[in-house]
Amino acid sequence: MSKRDRTPKTYTRLTHPLVRDSRDEPFRRATWDEALDRAARGLSAARGAFGMFSCARATNEMNYVAQKFARVVMGTNNVDSCNRTCHAPSVAGLSAAFGSGGGTSSYEEIEHTDVIVMWGSNARFAHPIFFQHVLKGIRNGARMYAVDPRRTSTAEWAESWLGLNVGTDIPMAHAIGREIIHAGLANEAFIARATTGFEEYRALVEPWTLSLAEKVTGVPAAAIRELAHAYARAERAQLCWTLGITEHHNGTDNVRALINLSLLTGHVGRYGSGLQPLRGQNNVQGGGDMGAIPNRLPGFQDILDPDTRLKFESAWDTVIQPHYGMNLTEMFEAMEDGSLKAVYCIGENPAQSEADSEQAVRRLKALDFLVVQDIFLTKTAELADVVLPATAGWAETEGTTTNSERRVQRVRRAVTPPGEAREDIDILCDLAARLGHDWKYADAETVWNELRSVSPDHHGMTYERLEEHQGIQWPCPSTDGLEPTYLHGRLWETDPARRGRLAPFGIVQHDPPVDLTDERYPIRLTTGRRLDSYNTGVQSGGYASPLRRGEYIELSPEDAERYGVVVGEEVQVTSRRGSVTAPVWVDPALRPGLAFMTMHFPDEVDTNALTIEANCPIAGTAEFKASAIRIEKLPIATIVG
Amino acid sequence: MDLHFGDSKPTDEERAAVDALLGPPESSWEGADRSDADLRWARGGRAARDRRDLLLPGLHAINDRVGWISDGALDYLCRRLTVPPAEAYGVATFYAMFSVKPRPATVLHVCTDLACAAAGAPELCAGIEERLGLGSGVSVERSPCLGLCERAPAALAIKAGDPVRTAVSAPATVEEAVLAASAPDSAPEEPPAALAVPQAGQDGLTLLHRVGVVDPASLDDYRAHGGYTALRRAFELGPAGVIREVTDSGLAGRGGAAFPTGRKWQATASQPDRPHYLVCNADESEPGTFKDRVLMEGDPYALVEAMTIAGYATGAHQGYLYLRGEYPRALHRLEHAIAQARARGLLGDDVLGQGYAFDIEIRRGAGAYICGEETALFNSIEGYRGEPRSKPPFPVEKGLFGKPTVENNVETLVNVLPILTMGAPAYAAIGTERSTGPKLFCVSGTVERPGVYELPLGATLGDLLALAGVRDGLRAVLLGGAAGGFVRADELDIPLTFEGTREAGTTLGSGVVMAFDDSVPLPRLLLRIAEFFRDESCGQCVPCRVGTVRQEEALHRIAERTGAAAAGDIALLREVGRAMRDASICGLGQTAWNAVESAIDRLGAYE
Amino acid sequence: MTVTPLGIPRRLLEFTIDGEQARVPEGSTILDACRAAGKDIPTLCEGDTLRPKNACRVCVVEVEGSRTLVPACSRKAEPGMEVRTGTERARHSRKIVLELLASSVDLSTTPRVAEWLKEYEAKPDRFGPDAARLNEEPRVDNDLYVRDYDKCILCYKCVDACGDQWQNTFAISVAGRGFDARIAVEHDAPLTDSACVYCGNCIEVCPTGALSFKSEFDMRAAGTWDESRQTETTTVCAYCGVGCNLTLHVQDNEIVKVTSPHDNPVTHGNLCIKGRFGYQHVQNRD
């Protein structure tokens, strides 16, 4: 048995620009002038075939400037960010129902609610401080229900944990909806006043009896019934979800199916009752709010609305394309067919974070020109023609970010960036200048004030007020007052005019995971986060977590026994797309046939070589949560210490 | 709760001990084998977390079976009860009767406290330790007062197993103690409780009149001697009527604080929050006190009946009897009595057919003097470390499980029976105007007939000592136990009433009257008292946690000194003592300096 | 529909502190009122994010009619109460408490304690050279934080922060009893075998420096820790979408410690392992 060093790769900061004269050559150090000139040349050559990957971890101000760069300098709406890989379905689903993509409640409200449903969310690990608010709620008497294939740390706090089959969220939700209707627990007053499409919904869920749902989800009918009754009978209830809902090929449908339950019971638009998608990145909310997505302008204003376009065209002195741009997923597909030739990638690592990572790398390599702006030489940066060293958004930059409860908060510069690293906005402006647009932003606040002038939802948030209130939640149209902590109170208005657009039920069908299990690939692999690590581990690998043990394929005790493998033993893990070796961990929270991995250690075990790029057609998010794999013992047993 | 468990597994025996208490585990998440159903649906939440109060019984179950609490056993218990292992570890290490380190199955507790020390405990201990060294299969542990002062010196053997076996040796010789420890089953039977009552069988006794007269196991015998007439009377009076009688009787708490019982009951009964609880404090641990043990061993049904009345009056449907862990015979007697009462419909859903539901659960202490403090006792029952709570809120408002609770001492409760049978006026006629009723006194030390004495409040110390046969050469009398104070041999005219002792600058406390003749070295005695408080301080507040250590250190320094050589340390003792009294959270710290102070000021110790 | 609750308006109650009239909202503690009145009462175990434990007893004051002194941190103000904060009796107990602590615990990194020892003329040495001390060695069993229980005053704040008041991990408890009581994980195991999730919320509330970042511990040992050269900048954590506010303590352009504002609506002073300790990547500069 051999042992292998499993210390994660540590990345050191980029301190100066890098360029290379051809893809076969290694990088060489360059001056900022040379690097920016090259970048400008490369981008201008690809006008009309350009895509911008903005950054869900950078500030609102940076995202604002980045999308403006794409739209004004490059004349395209092809701008997107990694929200595509996680919560785009939440935004798509919520805006389809309510016209706005944000979570409807605030953290504080979950402390004062009666029932909490955590669906596809291991917030205890992935959002620990949000979970502290949940725990306050539980300590205040709320009952929590967890719906998750694994009995996670979150689920261990639940009154009842429902261990459903991966990808059967819609059957579960529909069965809950049907049970609520049949038990006479639907909030008829709210349905009549605030929703549309109820009859269609009733017909849609009618076939989903508890017993059919039990067959499909694997969860006992009694458990589903109990959850249905608890949620419907609660005076206040919060429904929270994370990537267990969104990272499916039909993620938006999943989100709609959950929203339906809130419409059915009136658990939205009131203090303590609402919907709470938990965001994975510090500014995944803000990135979209700032318009760094292909279909919205800053302030989450629809590009297809001519008045909105006109407002921005006059503010920016430009012409805005009157159609949606490509999202991240579509841009990757466009790389394949050659219609996208240049990408400006800021702070993202798609070479490792995309599902089916081998395909992602192949596509990035097919680009004519790739500029990467980052704080590290990531795997994506290694593929670039020009690499620009940036500052760390959260510690070296002034600005704001927007959290999962729509709270815009100030980020501040605490340390001086290393070497020649520069702030994203300055780099973008220098590049814009080289491409003929001379933007003058004295500082982040100037950018913010420009945003405030075009986004009514942010208008009332001056830096001064953000400081005073320790962040302000949008909408904040006025500099004089604050709005309620929850959204869509309008739905409860008696006056139809003030009620506004009614919320439609989502008519969505069950569609099982694309990557089916069969005799050759008998195990369902699902993915998630661990407490001490983050995404591709580029940042979290930098500190010495005593909890970290590297990447493992986690199996149920039964499966470990069936395959005759023990903890630490390396095995071959193979999906229809790729194969990796990984050591075994045994987790009693898993049941037979269900395995778990993370994407925190791609340099050791490239989990995304296994995952499937089956994308949600609406939001473009891939089905990270469901692939089919098999486990094979290695010919020579290797134990990892 | 997302609990973390190590790799330690329970042995089959440990698992069986826990399962015997809790029943078999319901799911794999609780420790059963994994089943398909478990992997699809798990229940937990509030119901699972609400069983924390079974932690202490669980620790007892393991300790009783195995003799100590291993990592694996603790983890298994925690898994069963959804209790974090760190918390359970904190609880297990709080109690002196538990060990989290391996030790022999048999533990012999040898009392080294005041009465036993005066009766030769040091020599006894040394002798036993010589015989029962390493490899003897017995762990010898020096113990604070075992509540057997009338038969000092005393030893208690506990042999883990199924069932656990115990044997008391008192007065103990090395030979008898060793026999009790090595073969508890064949150790001679303890003498009947009545032997601790020199007045047993005499006329005119109110509280002790059944001790030694009735068969403590027989409910019928109890009824034949007037049992359950008080409860019947209570049902006639109704709850408010009972409280009025108790209030009019002038009964004050006998546990040491002398709070008017009627007022306490009224305050609890009138709380709108539900449920209400009744707690009987039978954690009799004040050195020198053994009256509650004698009552429970000699007349157990009286306590069961009295608790039922108290529960009825205060609107409680559940009573807890928190019994000192070192009282095995009282435990057996009361377990039996409660089962009998239940079988006869005197406890349960419909007591005496009156539509009133009441039941009693016994919870055993595990060796912590502090758990006699009322709020510490609540924490102990709830499965937390027995640390006192900050008051207010007071127990009548927020007590056990945060609910309105009335807590009374055993003797206090038993007084309710004569109040109801003879009526408040007749009861109030006993004793003095401000201290009504009979009182039990635990007389030990240098007297001919140590034991529990019943006298009307108002008798003098001299009367009591005459009854017990005080020996010549009396130097000092300790009133109220370690938390009480010394008086001189020339102060025997102190009336034994709450107000009389207070006026004399001392306290009645729990009724301890411990006589010392001039052969007992006072500094040694004071040092033992200081050690006791250091050992028993829960550690929560600084004045007590560190103050009791500094007190002991100073007394140690001056053990052989007098006059000017001791003056500096005595000044230090006064300063520390004053802060302990003023700033400690609970009565333990507040009284930890009392006895020492009285010895210095009253007896002229170190002069 | 349910509207945003504004909270039930709290009545004001009146009482006196040192003879002066005080008006505070119902539910306020004596300490709240004293602070509002500008009176400096020493506190150690009191924490602004935690329920009062009143274990240290250094904040005791005299209340008319009370047999013993009362802890200002936990006792609620009552109408008509007469509170006296600076009496000889209260000052005596504070002085003794400070002496008892200083004679048994290493208070060298406890803020303000030196000032109080002076103010109350405390002489911890008078218990003699043989006075029992905790005598604990620092426990360095992981790379993130150090537990130096020689500095522990057993205020319970770490236990409360780890337990049901915030983190609900319950990795630590008070074990043992009396002077031998110590903060411990189950079976007194090393931290790495415990339930600890390294959120550091215990460090956030520790009043004595018994719990500290390894970085601080090492710098103190090397003599390079210098708070006068440190800046504190509050920003937002980048590790997930919750938006926790981090206060970065920076010395010589290196982040040396991370805290969170206790009044922050998102964190209430709490963080997770990533927010608390996951900063090293920005300063992996070569």
Reported ipTM: the value is 0.95
C195 and C266: one domain?
A: yes
| B586 vs C: CB within 8 A | no
pLDDT (tens digit per residue) in A192-235: 999 999 999 999 999 999 999 999 999 999 999 999 999 999 99
How many B-C residue pairs are in contact by the CB < 8 A criterion?
171
Local structure of A93: helix, strand or coil: helix
Mean pLDDT of A459-472: 96
Size of interface A-C (CB pairs under 8 A): 209
Strand partners, A199: none
Q: B36: pLDDT confidence band, cut at 50, 70 and 90?
A: very high
A250-265 residue pLDDT tens: 999 999 999 999 999 9
Same-domain check for residues C173 and C263: yes
Can you give the CATH number for the domain in which C72 is found?
Answer: 3.10.20.740
Instruction: Note whether C172 and C76 are same-domain residues.
Output: no
**How many whole angstroms separate alpha carbon B95 and alpha carbon B140?**
16
In tens, the pLDDT along A580-591 reads 999 999 999 999
Whether chain B has a CB inside 8 Å of the CB on A116: the answer is: no
Q: Which of residues 385-414 of B touch C (CB under 8 A)?
A: 385, 390, 392
C10: confidence class by pLDDT, cuts 50, 70, 90: confident
Domains defined along chain B, listed by start: 12-92 (no CATH), 106-186 (3.40.30.10), 219-428 (3.40.50.11540), 438-517 (3.10.20.600), 522-601 (1.20.1440.230)
Given a cut of 70, whether residue B157 has pLDDT beyond it is yes
Predicted confidence (pLDDT) per residue in A20-48, tens digit:
999 899 999 999 999 999 999 999 999 99
Query: Are C1 and A10 in contact (CB < 8 Å)?
Result: no
pLDDT at A543: 84
Average pLDDT over residues B269-276: 97
C125 inside domain: yes
Whether residue C271 sits in one domain with residue C221:
yes
Cα separation, A179 vs A175, whole angstroms? 6
pLDDT band at residue A524 under the 50/70/90 scheme: very high
For the residues of C247-275, what is the DSSP string, one character each?
A: EEEEETTEEEEEE--TT-TTTTT---HHH
Does residue A639 have a pLDDT over 90? Answer: no
How does pLDDT run across A85-95, given as a tens digit for each residue? 667 889 889 99
Q: Is the dihedral of CA B500, B506, B511, B517 positive or negative?
A: negative
pLDDT given at position C8: 67
Which of chain A's residues have a Cβ under 8 Å away from the Cβ of B1?
Answer: 156-157
Task: Evaluate if residue C94 carries a pLDDT over 90.
Answer: yes
**Closest residue in chain A to residue B4, using alpha carbons only:** A153
B218 touches chain A (CB under 8 A): no
- The mean pLDDT of chain A is 92
Q: Is A12 a residue whose pLDDT tops 70?
A: yes
Contact at CB, B2 and A144, closer than 8 angstroms = no
Please give the distance of CA B426 from its chain centroid, rounded to a whole number.
30
Cβ contacts (< 8 Å) between C69 and chain B: which residues? 582-583
Using the Cβ of B427 and the Cβ atoms of chain C, whether some distance falls under 8 Å is answered with no
Report pLDDT digits (tens) over A267-304: 999 999 999 998 878 888 899 899 999 999 999 999 99
Cis peptide before B184 (omega within 30 of 0): no
Q: What pLDDT was estimated at residue A1? A: 33
Give the pLDDT score at A4: 44
Query: Minimal Cα distance from B539: which residue of C?
Result: C178
CA–CA dist A100, B528 (Å, integer): 74
Residues 6+ apart with CB under 8 A from B451: B150, B195, B196, B197, B198, B442, B443, B468
A51 forms bridges with which residues in the sheet? A343
User: Which of A144, A151, A218 faces B42 most closely, judged by CB atoms?
Assistant: A151
Nearest to C118 by CA among C95, C97, C100: C95
> For the purposes of burial, counting CB atoms within 10 Å of the CB of C262, is it exposed (0-12), middle (13-18) or buried (19 or more)?
middle
C278 contacts A534? CB cut-off 8 A: yes
Q: Is C129 exposed, middle or buried (0-12, 13-18, 19+ CB in 10 A)?
A: exposed
Residue A562 has pLDDT above 90, yes or no: yes
Out of B2, B40, B44, name the one closest to residue A219 (CB).
B40
Which of A11, A15, A414 lies nearest to residue C233, judging by beta carbons? A414
Mean of the per-residue pLDDT values of chain B: 95
Q: Is A376 helix (H, G, I), strand (E, B) or coil?
A: strand
Looking at the fold, whether C178 and C59 belong to one and the same domain comes out as: no
Do C116 and C156 belong together in one domain? Answer: no
Is the per-residue pLDDT at B175 higher than 60?
A: yes
Quote the pLDDT of residue A538.
73
Phi, psi for residue C147 in degrees, rounded to 5: -110, 105
In a domain, C138, yes or no: no
Q: Which CATH number does the domain A88-278 belong to among 3.20.20.70, 3.40.190.10, 3.40.228.10, 3.40.50.10310?
A: 3.40.228.10
* Min distance C202 CA to chain B CA atoms (Å): 15
> Which band of pLDDT confidence, cut at 50, 70 and 90, is reported for residue A603?
confident
pLDDT of residue A3: 39
Nearest to B93 among C92, C96, C175 (CB): C175
DSSP H helices in A149-282: 169-182, 188-194, 198-205, 210-217, 221-233, 243-246, 251-265
C123 and C189: one domain?
Answer: no
Residue C2 located in a structural domain: no
Q: Quick one: what percent of chain A has pLDDT higher than 90?
A: 79
* Residue among C170, C248, C249, C158 nearest C206 (CA): C158
CATH number at residue C152: 2.20.25.90
**Residue A301: both structure tokens together:** 């204003």
Confidence bin at A8 (pLDDT 50/70/90)? low
Residue B234, min C-alpha distance to chain C (Å) = 36
Q: Report yes or no on C3 lying in a domain.
A: no
A415–C164 CB contact, under 8 Å: no
Class of the domain covering A24-83+282-473? alpha beta
Smallest CA–CA distance from C271 into chain A, residue: A129
pLDDT > 80? residue A536: no
Find, in chain A, the residue whose alpha carbon is nearest to that of C277: A543
Asked whether the beta carbons of residue C186 and residue B89 sit closer than 8 angstroms, the reply is: yes
pLDDT tens digit sequence for A470-496: 999 999 999 999 999 999 999 999 999
pLDDT surpassing 80 at residue A355:
no
Chain B residue numbers with beta carbons less than 8 Å from the beta carbon of A157 are 1-2, 44-45
Residue of C nearest to A266 (CA): C1
- For B488-540, how does the pLDDT look when each residue is reduced to its tens digit (9 = 90+)? 999 999 999 999 999 999 999 999 999 999 888 999 999 999 999 999 999 99
CA–CA dist A53, A292 (Å, integer): 8
Residue C34 and residue A126: Cα distance in Å, rounded? 41
Among C133, C160, C183, which residue terminates a domain? Answer: C133
**CB-CB under 8 Å, C4 with A539:** no
How would residue A84 be classed by pLDDT, with cut points 50, 70 and 90? low
For C161, the domain range is: 145-283
Chain B environment of A155 (Cβ under 8 Å): 42
pLDDT computed for residue A9 by the predictor: 67
Q: Is B32 within 8 Å of chain A by CB?
A: no
Percentage of chain B surpassing pLDDT 90?
A: 94
* pLDDT at A478 (0 to 100): 94
The pLDDT of residue C3 is above 60: no
B27: contact with A, CB 8 A cutoff: no
The pLDDT assigned to A271 comes to 96
pLDDT band of B375, cuts 50, 70, 90: very high
- Interior angle at CA A118, CA A115 and CA A119, nearest 5: 130
SS3 label, residue B124: helix
* Position C165 in a domain: yes
CATH 2.40.40.20 domain range(s) in chain A: 523-633
Q: Residue A439 pLDDT > 60, yes or no?
A: yes
pLDDT score, position A85: 63
C86 and C109 share one domain: yes
Nearest residue of chain C to residue B72 (CA atoms): C187
What is the average pLDDT across B276-281? 98
Closest residue of chain A to C167, computed from CA coordinates? A132
Q: How confident is the model at residue C4 (pLDDT cuts 50, 70, 90)?
A: very low
pLDDT tops 90 at residue B428: yes
The candidate with the shortest Cα–Cα distance to B510, out of B286, B251, B196, B327, is B286
What pLDDT, on a 0 to 100 scale, did the predictor assign at position B414?
98
CA distance C267 to chain B (A): 21
Query: What pLDDT was estimated at residue B238?
Result: 97
DSSP for B378-418, please give it: HHHHTTS--PPPPSSSPTTTS-GGGS-EEEEEHHHHHHHHH
Q: Where in chain A is the domain with CATH 3.40.228.10?
A: 88-278
B542: nearest CB among C101, C173, C177 = C101
In chain C, residues 213-242 whose CB comes closer than 8 Å to chain A: 231, 233-242
Of all residues in chain A, the one with the smallest CA distance to B36 is: A591
Interface test with C, best of A154, A415, A423 (most C CBs within 10 A): A415
CATH topology of domain A523-633: Barwin-like endoglucanases (2.40.40)
**Measured between beta carbons, which residues in chain C are less than 8 angstroms from residue A112?**
5
- Chain B residues touching A219 at Cβ < 8 A: 40-41
Crossing angle for the helix pair B410-422 and B229-249, to the nearest 10 degrees: 100
| C156 and C235 both lie in a single domain | yes
**Residues of C with Cβ-Cβ distance to B575 under 8 angstroms:** 92, 96
pLDDT reading at A421 higher than 90: yes
Domain boundary among C79, C111, C133: C133
Report CB contact under 8 Å: A484, C4.
yes
Per the structure, how many domains does chain C have?
2
**Chain A contact for B394 (CB, 8 A cutoff):** no
* Subunit contact C179:B3, Cβ cutoff 8 A: no
Q: Does A287 touch chain B (CB under 8 A)?
A: no
What interhelical angle do A32-45 and A424-434 show, nearest 10? Answer: 60
How much is the average pLDDT of C94-115? 97
Cα gap A323→A325, rounded to integer Å: 6
Q: Across the interface, which of A153, A158, A218 has its CB nearest the CB of B45?
A: A158
**For the whole prediction, is pTM greater than 0.90?**
yes
In terms of domains, do C108 and C176 share one? no
User: Is C277 near chain A, with CB under 8 Å?
Assistant: yes
* pLDDT confidence tier of residue B161, bands split at 50, 70 and 90: very high
Q: Does residue B110 surpass a pLDDT of 60?
A: yes
Same domain, C213 and C118: no
Within-domain flag for C188: yes
- Do C254 and C193 lie in a common domain? yes
H helices of C181-247, where? 201-205, 214-222
